[in-house]
Amino acid sequence: TTMYDVDWFEAFGSKLLVCTKSAHTIYEIRQRQYHEIFRAKHKGIAINELYLSNEFFAFVSTTPGRITVADLVKRDQFHWNVLQYDNIYSLSISGAVLNMIYGGGINFYLNLGRYDLHKREPINNVVLSEGALQSIILQLELRTTSQLLVYKIFNASGNLPVYVRGANGELVKTFPDCNFLAVEGEYVIYFKSGNQNELCIWTNKNPDDDSVKLELDGNLSRCSKRCISSSLLVLTFGNNCFKIIDFQKATCLNEIKFDVMEAFGEPIQILVTQYYFVLLQVIPKKQQKERKGRTKQVPSGNYQLGWIIYDFKAKVDSAALQ
């Protein structure tokens, strides 16, 4: 399938979002072919004002004060009419909950609106900022679970804390001068700006207890990829290695150094399951060469895409699948 005049695209599961200058279009892959299942006009592409999951697609409508949601399973759409806002910082979907971070109101507080996509009704509205926003927000990171709302605001005035709130919006914990890496269930995993080799793990089970600390050989601020699979946190450190951490036990299970990354750069894609770490990587193409009655594979001088699979259940192994 060839698509033209594409300004933006992204994929999630079996769905593909394609944005042109005038419309958002969703395709679903079936039998190796993409089939159009949804199309809507838009007022202009703003990446922070749209979000795709395998079940829903949410975007800011052309009608002021309205978020449009396409149900990609039921093949219909509905709207969330929100309070007046001045600026939307992000839309995101966690499970069946749509999160919208926006600035608005008389004092221009930073707010989080939450909407139940299955019941098609608002859940609550949480004020994220402790006061009016005095400077421009440069970046905002938000992670949500069924129990926690975790976020950090980056603005021009300085380094703000990591805030942890309960599902109803009550403030549970703050971590000053920190950056969080991951949030899973009742766990928040972060590191301090002053000690970037120390992984900190906090749980909402015992919110008043100190975080458990784990010393790592590696600068966490340079962690380029992070993935969670079950109770495992997989951290990728540039083109050097990845580490497998059981965050419930606060234990580093393994560190695996890449054997091909140094020569061929960072992977195109990283996939993580409960047992495997998979890289889509440029690798040298080999050819068979006979010499003295023996067949041997030697580099051909050409390159190809290959899967490099690390099995971290037991013995570490890697193999390139042609």
131-160: pLDDT as tens digits: 555 556 667 788 888 889 999 887 666 667
Kindly report the pTM of this predicted structure. 0.73
**Dihedral sign, Cα of residue 190, residue 195, residue 197, residue 200:** negative
Where does CATH 2.40.10 sit in the chain?
135-215
Tell me the two tokens of residue 322.
Answer: 């042609």
| 128-132, 136-140, 192-196, 273-277: range with highest mean pLDDT | 192-196
Res 37: pLDDT: 95
Q: Is the pLDDT of residue 161 over 60?
A: yes
User: Topology of 135-215 in CATH?
Assistant: Thrombin, subunit H (2.40.10)
Where does CATH 2.130.10.10 sit in the chain?
1-134
C-alpha dihedral (176, 210, 225, 148), degrees to nearest 10: -80
In DSSP notation, 49-95 reads GEEE-SSEEEEE-SSTTEEEEEETTTTEEEEEE----SEEEEEEEET
| 205-209, 253-257, 277-281, 316-320: range with highest mean pLDDT | 205-209
Class for the domain spanning 1-134: mainly beta
| Band of residue 239 on the pLDDT scale cut at 50, 70, 90 | low
Q: Is the pLDDT of residue 315 over 50?
A: no
